[in-house]
Amino acid sequence: MEKLRMMISGEITISPNPGKTMKKWREIFQITQAEVAGFLKITPSTVSDYEGERRKSPGIKTISRFVDALFKIDALRGGHITKKLLEPERDEKQYFEAIDFSQEISLEEFVKIIEGSVITNEDIVKKTKIYGYTLIDSLNVILDMPYSYFPRLYGGITERAFIFLGVSTGRSPLVVIRMEPSKPKAVVLHNLEKIDELAIKISERERIPIITTKMSIEEIKKRLNI
């Protein structure tokens, strides 16, 4: 359990948006701001200010106490979330495959390589660089992948594209990305005819381009062997 505590504390500490990462883990543990505040002996509004980034980034001691509160509250409820997070390691390849490039390429070049179509935020495509991509089995990731695996989607670097496989409308992947503090530089929806309007709105608000392609995954991997 100590390894899990350190992993969560570390993720919050190094996050570019620590307040949002705190909120993510509080919601994963299904704990309210008021409950956390009670354990920390602070006001719920203080927790809200941290999560909303209206207050200076919390220090290591505050983050450590925050994480301890999550585990203690969960333990009082039977420890169900902790047990789920401590499930035995599974082969991550059943959920995703993260590939890093040996050199950077422009997102515009990436689109050309996969014969993609830019659906949103085309202006960003022209000035963005990426260093890799992640192939994601959408259904398995959303329904079954352990929470602790999410940081692994980025491989060694966050400047990458997410290629979602098995999507039906594109809504679920974009909703998940909206909730995460770290964001990919682009989202590729594989073999999708029609994109959900909410997915498009989230993409435009988060300024993350949506790209579509019908190229086979085998051909994509072959062409992106950079």
CB 108 within 8 A of CB 126: yes
CB 188 within 8 A of CB 163: yes
2-85 CATH: 1.10.260
Tokens for 99, please give them: 């590939």
Question: Among 105, 164, 158, 172, which residue's Cα sits nearest to residue 135?
Answer: 164
Residue 149: exposure state from Cβ atoms within 10 A (0-12, 13-18, ≥19): middle
CB 176 within 8 A of CB 149: no
Report yes or no on whether pTM surpasses 0.75: no
* Residues 6+ away with beta carbon under 8 Å from 145: 95, 96
| CATH 3.40.1390.20 domain locations along the chain | 92-223
pLDDT in tens, the chain (226 residues): 788 889 899 989 988 889 999 999 999 999 999 999 999 999 999 999 999 989 888 889 999 999 999 999 999 999 999 988 887 666 788 889 999 998 899 999 999 999 999 999 999 998 999 999 999 998 888 777 877 778 788 876 889 999 999 998 999 899 888 888 789 999 999 999 899 999 999 999 999 999 999 999 999 999 998 7
| CATH 1.10.260 domain locations along the chain | 2-85
Query: What is residue 151's predicted lDDT score, i.e. its pLDDT?
Result: 78
92-223 CATH: 3.40.1390.20
Tokens for 63, please give them: 């983050």
